[in-house]
Amino acid sequence: MCRAVLSFGLLALLFCASTKPLLAANDNDPSVKSERNSDLAAQLGILFLRDSTTRIIVERGGKTYEVDLATEQIRELSEPSQNKPSDQAAAPSSNPRPSSSTTNPPSEAKKPTERYYHPGDDFVFALPSGRAIEKNSWTINFTHRFPYEAAFTGPARGATLLGFDDFSVSSFGIQYGITNALSVSAYRSPSIIGRPIELGVRYDFLNERHGPFNAGIRFSVDGQNNFSRNFTSNFELLLSRSLGHRAQLYAVPTFSVHNRPVLSAETALTSPPAYQPCQQALANDVPASFGVHPCENTFSIGVGAAIDIRPTVALVGEVIPTAVNGTELGIHRLPFSLGIQKKIYHHAFTFGLTTAPGTTVSQRIATRAIFLRSPDSDLPSDMFVGFDISRRFP
């Protein structure tokens, strides 16, 4: 009897020892894992796109959605996918060899998502992109411009890092979405450029998903010396149009009432900027030979573009010609900017070259020439570096 029990125990140990490697091998088998993942994806209604590592398709309640994992954007597809995610997810387990029936539907499911562009920032560089501001969301914007040293002209700039070592015009702004269409904003630039504070309200009345383009209107008032003098009222029409999902064009006609020349502080930063009364013939703190007026109504039409060269990297550019009364404010050449933008999560970082030191609505039309009181300092060779940073909450 003892021999029988002992023999049975030895056989049981041998059986367990022999089956354990098989179970471990089965758990580590990629084909088994793939089959399990496919079954789970089918149960959850998830479709993995073969030609994308940042997007997936999800079906819920009879509707199809695209989820962009890189930008955390979720949008409903205007056209449903031809096959359900469960069919596509289960395809690898039922037929390990990909065929035309298993490769075409994912591409077809992705086609509806290639219609609209999602800007990474609220600004192209200084021009507004018209990016939608969601209800109860906050957006913080930082801008830095280094206009006192041209990046590529004069003595070798390597030692000063293309002007980064010089003085910066650093501005800060915040926006809040009251609704998905209505938002308010506040923005301030430093004493070196007149310490203006800008307060604005914006309303988006057209979406290109339901019309030919995106459109919104924005009204703002800015006052220098911390909103105490030299006030300017601005009326903007924000227009944008997607060229597929990788590019977008922008146009921003802007009318400014009682606009002022954009001047760099020549005395201590603690001193307030000079008064620029509209009834005066010539502007204060500017050589009379320049013939600059202290106050004029201006009209400009800014145009820009953003083109994705990678899913999270875009090239941006803008130009802002002033059609009415630009010369009277010392603007003899149109400001322009070129840059590259990186989009990560709810952040965006844009590095670029520009000839415009100002970033408020009224000041973005001016160039480095009037800012430095040097008429020939806004040539393309006089471009200087700058960058923008934005962060959206939540």
CA separation for the pair 326, 35 (Å, rounded): 67
Answer yes or no: do 214 and 296 share one domain: yes
CA separation for the pair 110, 81 (Å, rounded): 8
Residue 9 lies in a domain: no
pLDDT tens, position by position, 79-125: 444 444 444 444 444 444 444 444 444 444 444 445 899 999 999 99
Average pLDDT over residues 360-377: 96
Residue 23 lies in a domain: yes
Q: Which residue has the tokens 């509209």?
A: 278
Residue 6 lies in a domain: no
Residue 147 lies in a domain: yes
SS3 (DSSP) at 292: coil
When the pLDDT of each residue in the chain is averaged and rounded to a whole number, the result is 84
Answer yes or no: do 384 and 275 share one domain: yes
Answer yes or no: do 58 and 151 share one domain: no
Q: In degrees to the nearest 10, what's the CA dihedral of 294, 295, 301, 302?
A: 50
pLDDT tens, position by position, 195-247: 999 999 999 999 999 999 999 999 999 999 999 999 999 999 999 999 999 99
- State the CATH number of the domain containing residue 328: 2.40.160.40
Residue 277 lies in a domain: yes
Per the structure, how many domains does the chain have?
A: 2
Q: Which pTM was predicted?
A: 0.73
Answer yes or no: do 225 and 343 share one domain: yes
Indicate if the pLDDT at residue 347 is higher than 80.
yes
> Are 149 and 166 within 8 A, CB to CB?
yes
Answer yes or no: do 222 and 353 share one domain: yes
Answer yes or no: do 182 and 312 share one domain: yes
What is the model's pLDDT at position 213?
Answer: 96
Beta bridge partners of 376: none
Answer yes or no: do 45 and 146 share one domain: no
Average pLDDT over residues 152-165: 80
pLDDT tens, position by position, 248-291: 999 999 999 999 999 999 888 889 999 999 999 999 999 999 99
Could you tell me whether strands 63-68 and 73-76 are parallel, antiparallel, or unpaired per DSSP bridges?
Answer: antiparallel
Domain interval for residue 75: 19-113
Residue 132 lies in a domain: no
Encoded amino acid at 146, one letter: F
What is the model's pLDDT at position 156?
Answer: 67
User: Which of 48-52, 86-90, 152-156, 172-176 tops mean pLDDT?
Assistant: 172-176
Q: Which two three-digit tokens encode residue 154?
A: 């004069």
Q: Which residue has the tokens 């088994």?
A: 32
CA separation for the pair 249, 379 (Å, rounded): 25
